Amino acid sequence: MADADSPSDAGDPGDGSTDSLGSTAAADADAAGGPAAAGSVIVPVEPTSTLRSTIAHVAEAAATGGAPAIHLVEIASWRNGDPESDERAAAAERVLERAAAWTAADLDDSEAPGAADVEVVTAVIGADDYLFGADDYVRVLAEYAEANRADRVVLDPEYTPVGNTTLLQPLEFALSNTSLSVETAPVDRPTRRERFRTEATTGRFLALFGLSLAFYLLLGDPTYWFDAVTGVATAAIVSVTLSRVSLDSNPAIPRTPMRILRGLVYVPVLLFEILKANLVVARVILDPRLPIEPTMNRMRVIVGSGLPLMTLANSITLTPGTLTVRARDSDLYVHSLLPWAREGLFDGSLERWTRFVYYGRRSARLPTPRERDDVAILQGDDATEELPIAAADGGDVTAEGEDPTADAEEVTDR
């Protein structure tokens, strides 16, 4: 079991943190002139290098401070019904089960008299809605805290609820605006590796080697010995250099081969959509009687993040008449030139094909953005929302109430 540092090393009182899990209860007791029961503590959980130490600290502090329960919660970075949501929920449950076992073991080992009375509870929260930022995470945490009579939150210093984006600092700031007290567990952090690098595995190396060699031979002559030799050498260099940054998950059988096969099916479909859009745009340009209505549109998509989202965004951009300007969480902001292009975008053909490529036929049957009412027009007489995109002069224009400093990811591909 990892040793927990002394609770007295936690953040200073001026930054919204508490010195220990029992300090808030003590302050309440002094104010009321009598003893006050400590509230339950919530620990947001994600598999990190410091999770074990965080749990050891929380268990000891809860037993010493008299907290009735420790709530281990995982805030969902998916929405129920999304592709692979069942698998991600199952993975979250496994992490929570492991964390609960650690907590129970630490409570059993504790010499504090109240250790036996501390209950351990696990839950996955926020899976019914998309959570886009710190305010959303705080909202579901606060709702859960109110429902379970918890009054404090302990954060793992390495906690990153949305994968590669570290939200600890804004999460602490947002929590400081609630009635909950917040503490970052005073545990030692290991030496941090580069955030964009993943673990090197044989599967990722071989997958990148095969793709690089196939692409090299496609451009050259696979029957010529010199191209074969230089192709192997080039693919080896690419794989050694980029295998830790190019793939975010290990290739798996049958998932990866099936995605490749479905991708080959998708290529002619995308080419047909490009050809059809070219003909429509050309006709509109040549015939001045036909309408041109350039508008910015927002479409919330259900394809997951990372490579699937990039595939959809670039597929839309490759189709004449539409251009993906920004991807923000699960929202795509797309500029459309024609009403026809906008309607086709909302009908979700490319979204369904992207789901088919990455998740199979069953996911392709999910409702379209129009059927889910996950679309909006941001310009023109038919606008249904204000435009929260960059202004023409390069400045930021945000909708009322939106944080202008919120992070966004540019995926413009021309």
Three-state secondary structure string covering 120-154? EEEEEECCCCCCCCHHHHHHHHHHHHHHHCEEEEE
238 φψ region: left (φ > 0), alpha (ψ -120 to 50), beta (else): alpha
Same domain, 136 and 238: no
Whichever domain contains 74, its CATH number is 3.40.50.620
Using 50 as the pLDDT threshold, list the residues of the chain that sit under it: 1-37, 163-167, 193-196, 389-414
- How many residues are present in the chain? 414
Secondary structure of 157-217 in HEC code, one letter for each residue: CCCCCECCECCHHHHHHHHCCCCCEEEECCCCCCCCCCCCCCCCCHHHHHHHHHHHHHHHH
Residue 403 covered by a domain: no
Same domain, 140 and 270: no
Does any domain span residue 341?
yes
Q: Say whether 394 sits in a helix, a strand or coil.
A: coil
Whole domain around residue 226: which residue ranges? 202-242
Asked if the structure places residue 194 within a domain, the reply is no
Tell whether 259 and 237 lie within a shared domain. Answer: no
Residue 63 lies in a domain: yes
pLDDT at residue 133, as a whole number:
64
* Residue 386: inside a domain: no
Terminus-to-terminus CA distance in the chain, angstroms? 53
State whether 218 and 82 are in the same domain. Answer: no
- The pLDDT assigned to 119 comes to 92
Position 410 in a domain: no
In this structure, the answer to whether residues 88 and 150 fall within a common structural domain is yes
221 and 144 belong to one structural domain: no
Tell me: do 175 and 293 sit in the same domain. Answer: no
Residues 207 and 129 both lie in one domain: no
Please, are residues 31 and 68 in contact by the beta-carbon 8 Å criterion? no
In a domain, 332, yes or no: yes
284 with 361, same domain: the answer is yes
Are residues 120 and 17 located together in one domain of the fold? yes
Rounded Cα distance, 250 and 147, in Å: 39
35 and 106 in one domain? yes
**Global pTM?**
0.51
Same-domain status, 164 and 19:
yes
Q: What is the pLDDT of residue 35?
A: 36
Domain count, the chain: 3
Provide the Cα torsion 153, 168, 389, 357; round to 10°.
-100
Q: Over the stretch 242-296, which tens digit does the pLDDT of each residue have? A: 877 777 667 777 878 888 899 999 999 999 999 999 999 999 989 888 878 889 9
Tell me whether residue 412 is in a domain: no
pLDDT of amino acid 389: 43
With H, G, I as helix, E, B as strand and everything else as coil, classify residue 115. Answer: helix
